[in-house]
Amino acid sequence: MKATHLVLLAIALSLFILCLVVMLSMTLAFFTSISVVLLPLVLIITGVVFFVRQRFINKRINRPFTVDLINPVNIYQSNTNTNISIKQQQQQHSAAGGGGERVLWCSIKAIQDQYPSIKCVVYTGDNVTDQQIYQKIKSQFDIDLNRENLEFVRLSKRQYIQTLHHLLENHPEHRDNVKFILVGSTRDQADRDRVDALRSLAAELKVADHMQLEVGVSASMLNQLLNEASVGIHTMWAEHFGIGVVELMAAGVITVAHNSGGPKEDIIEHRTTGFLATTKEEYAEYIHEILANKEKFIEMQKAARDSTDRFSEENYYIQFIDKIQQLLPDNQKKKD
């Protein structure tokens, strides 16, 4: 390489290094001047964020709170422990079981596996021991639950007989014209024991002469009872839908249903197509009102019957096709 070339290369390298030094100096000078302003701001903002977190956010985290996950499940959380309260009446303890019950126990099993410190509480209407429930869960669903973190709370029973007793005590004029007919079926000995318990309670409250228990009736017998009935009573708490309520209304029976679940949300419009009640006092007063003013409720009877058309098989067919056709190819549809 020629000497002139070496000189030119040295000059070029020197200029390049000089440019880098100048650019670096300018950059450092710029950021140095900016940092004089930004640094205090950063410190102030950091202090404010820390104060807000300590003063408000941590305070809220450390206190108990309730979160609705899926009705009816609530989480109660605190610093020391957490409880999950499943406010859903468990299905009656029987050998029949059901998909819904399996979901319940599988959900609790999943919670216990993933959150072993959480305590689950199941509200049930069963008149059986905890041990019997655990045995059923194991034998029917093959699920092992941690008993230390699971508690059962018994709910009060549906007050059929107490409603009848309250009605006759407060409105004795109905003693000569009221017959309370309880219709249902039994699945096992536990159910038969419940029927015997109802008979015993009716005798204890001195209303046995006004009550009739019909177990395992035929469809024709059920239709006959519906045709003769003046009032239909539904007392199940938080029933998902309530097809029995629809059947009562379709048969022209003025219905008093529990003020919860499907009857409240989907079926009955209070004092328009029926009544909604919670306590035995409310049930008794609505029954008295209906029996004392039957002609007054002819329009309600008609409105209730008409309202059940939306639950007919024909309407279901139409609405089902309307929804499902959006998922199916048009070329597979039957030609008109």
Tens digits of per-residue pLDDT, 234-267? Answer: 988 888 889 999 999 999 999 999 999 899 999 9
Which residues span the domain enclosing 123? 65-154
202 & 137 share domain: no
Please list the residues that pair with 67 across neighbouring strands: 75
- 191 and 177 together in one domain: yes
Tell me: do 200 and 291 sit in the same domain. yes
* Residue 266 and residue 124 share a domain: no
Asked if the structure places residue 166 within a domain, the reply is yes
231, part of any domain: yes
First to last CA, the chain: 93
**Tens digits of per-residue pLDDT, 185-195?**
898 888 898 89
The fraction of the chain above a pLDDT of 90, given in percent, is 41
Identify whether residues 130 and 167 lie together within a single domain. Answer: no
Please count the structural domains in the chain: 2
Give CA–CA dist 48/27, Å, rounded: 30
| Residue 334 included in any domain | no
Q: How many other C-beta atoms can be found within 10 angstroms of the C-beta atom of residue 199?
A: 14
Residue type, 115: Y
Q: Are residues 111 and 168 in the same domain?
A: no
Residue 111 identity (one-letter amino acid): I
Question: Same domain, yes or no, for 168 and 303?
Answer: yes
Are both 230 and 280 inside the same structural domain?
yes
Contact 153, 123 (CB under 8 A): yes
Is the pLDDT at 285 greater than 80? The verdict is yes
- If asked whether residues 143 and 170 sit together in one domain, one would say no
* pLDDT average, residue stretch 179-200: 90
Q: Do 179 and 291 lie in a common domain?
A: yes
Could you report the per-residue pLDDT of 35-55, keeping only the tens digit for each?
555 555 556 666 655 555 555
Q: Are residues 105 and 225 in the same domain?
A: no
Task: Look at 32 and 141; give whichever has higher pLDDT.
Answer: 141
Return the pLDDT at 289. 96
**pLDDT value, residue 277:** 96
Q: What does the angle CA 300 – CA 238 – CA 180 come to, to the nearest 5 degrees?
A: 55
State the pTM of this model. Answer: 0.57
Q: Does residue 217 sit in the same domain as residue 115?
A: no
Q: Determine the Cα–Cα distance for residues 301 and 294; give it in Å rounded to an integer.
A: 10
- Rounded CA-CA distance 21/27 in Å is 10
Across 68-77, 156-165, 217-226, 233-242, the highest mean pLDDT is recorded for: 217-226
